[in-house]
Amino acid sequence: MFCVCKNSVIKAIRRALTLAPIHMVLVMLILQAPQPACAQTATDEYKVKAAFLFHFAQLVDWPSDAFNSGDQSLNLCFFDDEPHLQELQGALEGKPIGYRVVHVRLLHPTQPVQGCSILFLGRDDGRRQTASLRKLHGQPVLTVGESNNFLSEGGIIRLHLEQDKVRFDINVGVADSSRLKISSRLLLLASSVTLSDQAKGGQ
């Protein structure tokens, strides 16, 4: 047995804990949390988002010059430090879309974005998003992102969660200036549709 407990450490801890009663509340909440809260099974967010990406690819038309002639692949780009890469890549690699096949391309965080039909930007890196969207402005690349300011910075489709369900917004203005045609079915399902190409002013 040790008499360490009598010294100042414990006092310091007590003080720290009383300073942060929220932690204690949390611990109590955990112990008493209602059990059936998750009776409804939940699916991994990014597996569902991967399926959304697949549908977007099906419901968007690229201009004919967007692909190299003879190239059968539809390049879906992620940055290689994307935290949910496994889920996204696993669900999409090799999936047929029309007469093309989805090919997942990994981009190095510092490399310029090129050769992508679709670019997915996770919610974490604001600076990279700004730079990538500015660079892709006007190019036939379907940009899909998650951050709050994704559409206002010139992105085309923004995914977000509403009470644990996936929703999306579309900026048709940017899609138009990128010469992408978005099917009306997708527009009908979107939570909101923005018409203006606000990104023009932002350069």
Partner 1 sequence: MIHPRSCFSGFFARLSDDFTAISGARSVLILAVLAMIFLPAILAHPQQGSDSDLTQTSLEDLMNINVTSVSKKKQKTSQAPGAIFVINQDDIRRSGALNIPDLLRMVPGLDVAQIDAGKWAISARGFNGQYSNKLLVLIDGRTVYTPIFAGVFWDSQNVPLDTIERIEVIRGPGAAVWGSNAMNGVINIITQNSADTQGGYLSAGIGNISTGSETLRYGGKIRGLGAYRVYAEGFHYDSLPTLDGLDGKDDWRLFHGGFRADSLLSAKDSLITEGETYQGDAGEMATAPISLTPPETETVALHDVYSGWNLLSRWSHTVSPRSQTSLQLYFDHANRDDTTYTLGLNTFDIDFQHHVALGTRQDVVWGIGYRLSSDDTGPTLRIVFTPQARNLHLFSSFLQDEITVRPERLQLNLGARVEHNDYTGIGFQPSARIVWTPDSKNMFWGAISGADRTPSRSDTDIRVNYAALPGPGNMPILVSLFGNPNFKNERLVAIEVGHRNSWTSTLSIDSTIFYNRYRDLVSVEPGATRIETNTAAVHLLVPSYFSNGLHGETHGLEFFANWKAANIWTLSPGYAYFSMHLHPFTGSQDFTDAPGTEGGAPDHQAQLRSSVTLPHNLQWNASAYFVNRLRAQSIPSYTRVDTDLVWNAGERFSLSVVGQNLSKNLHPEYAGPSTTVQTDLMRRSAYAKFTWSF
> What gap in Å lies between CA 110 and CA 77, rounded to an integer?
14
CB of 53 to partner 1, least distance (A): 9
91 binds partner 1 (CB under 8 A): yes
The residue type at 86? Q
92 binds partner 1 (CB under 8 A): yes
Nearer to partner 1, 185 or 200 (CB): 185
Candidate list 35, 69, 184, 203; residue touching partner 1; CB under 8 A: 35
Lay out the site mask for partner 1 across 93-122 (x = CB under 8 A, - = otherwise): xxx-------xxxxxxxxxx-x--------
125 binds partner 1 (CB under 8 A): yes
Cβ atoms of 63 and 179 within 8 Å: the answer is: yes
Q: Which stretch binds partner 1 (CB under 8 A): 27-35, 62-70, 170-178, 195-203?
A: 27-35
Cβ atoms of 158 and 181 within 8 Å: the answer is: no
Q: Is 61 helix (H, G, I), strand (E, B) or coil?
A: strand
Lay out the site mask for partner 1 across 36-65 (x = CB under 8 A, - = otherwise): -xx-xxxxxxxxxxxxx-xx---x------
Task: Output b/e per residue, 102-115; b: 16+ Cβ within 10 A.
Answer: bbbbebeeeeebee
CA distances from 8 to 3, 11, 12, 14, 17 (A): 11, 5, 6, 10, 14
Nearer to partner 1, 33 or 70 (CB): 33
Nearer to partner 1, 3 or 201 (CB): 3
Site for partner 1 in 153-192 (CB under 8 A): 161, 164-167, 185-186, 189
> What gap in Å lies between CA 169 and CA 158, rounded to an integer?
5
Candidate list 8, 68, 184, 203; residue touching partner 1; CB under 8 A: 8
CB of 149 to partner 1, least distance (A): 8
CB of 57 to partner 1, least distance (A): 10
Give the pair of three-digit tokens for residue 139. 């190019």
Candidate list 64, 98, 127, 203; residue touching partner 1; CB under 8 A: 127
> What gap in Å lies between CA 49 and CA 103, rounded to an integer?
17
Cβ atoms of 84 and 56 within 8 Å: the answer is: no
202 binds partner 1 (CB under 8 A): no
